[in-house]
Amino acid sequence: NAGVTQTPKFRVLKTGQSMTLLCAQDMNHEYMYWYRQDPGMGLRLIHYSVGEGTTAKGEVPDGYNVSRLKKQNFLLGLESAAPSQTSVYFCASSYLGVDTQYFGPGTRLTVL
Amino acid sequence: KNEVEQSPQNLTAQEGEFITINCSYSVGISALHWLQQHPGGGIVSLFMLSSGKKKHGRLIATINIQEKHSSLHITASHPRDSAVYICAGDSGNTPLVFGKGTRLSVIA
């Protein structure tokens, strides 16, 4: 099993560009999450999904959109990137809500 | 609002020392997660507990529900334990609330 994978691992964008981050899990987990991690801030939840076809806002959703068309994939989109979105993005998944979360390796995004 | 506070922020220890990292949490949180973030950035879940104590190798996690406090202990610490340790509160109905992490350095 690959666990949780993220694509890409690194990306540099210019302000205003768009991109999509892909998260995939092969553990048949219902719940999936997108977090961002910034120095001194800890992990903050952007959006999450409790099952295929569902999405919900987390703590810092502005500027991001998500989709969960397939159970194994959770996409995070930036429509018009801003320098404030420079961060490390982590995807995670869990079988249940109150359950161990399995994290992907992270995507380092820089917006110039 | 659910909150989680960790202490200390930074910790330096000599190899072999017994290490304790603390986490206090607010009312409404029913379970605590402990995570480890390696220097390379990867995050691994260590424990999830809602009562008592759990042990895995040299790592022990305890939780006191009445005092709303959890501790992560590392026995016989080793340089490979150097990492950021994160606690996260789980209320069951809403997503995890993360502490800011404790950066541990174990010196040989």
**Among residues of chain B, what percentage have pLDDT more than 70?**
97
Q: Which residue of A has its CA nearest to B31?
A: A98
pLDDT at A5 over 70: yes
Chain B residues whose C-beta is within 8 A of a chain A C-beta are 30-31, 33, 35, 41-45, 48, 86, 88, 90, 92-93, 95-96, 98-101
CA distances from B14 to B19, B76, B86, B99, B101 (A): 10, 10, 21, 25, 20
Chain B residues near residue A33 by CB distance under 8 angstroms: 95
Say if the Cβ atoms of B96 and A45 lie within 8 Å.
yes
Q: Which two tokens stand for residue A104?
A: 């992907």
Reported in sequence order, the residue ranges of A1-112 that DSSP labels E, i.e. its strands, are 4-7, 10-13, 19-25, 31-38, 42-49, 56-57, 64-67, 73-78, 87-94, 102-103, 107-111
Say if the Cβ atoms of A106 and B92 lie within 8 Å.
no
pLDDT of residue B2: 67
Chain B residues near residue A88 by CB distance under 8 angstroms: 41
Minimal Cα–Cα distance from A98 to chain B, Å?
5
Could you tell me the pLDDT band of residue B45, with boundaries at 50, 70 and 90? very high
pLDDT digits (tens, 9 = 90+) for A20-67: 999 999 999 999 999 999 987 889 999 999 999 999 999 999 999 999
Q: In whole angstroms, give the CA distance from residue B11 to residue B38.
A: 15
pLDDT digits (tens, 9 = 90+) for B52-97: 999 999 999 999 989 999 999 999 999 999 999 999 998 876 778 8
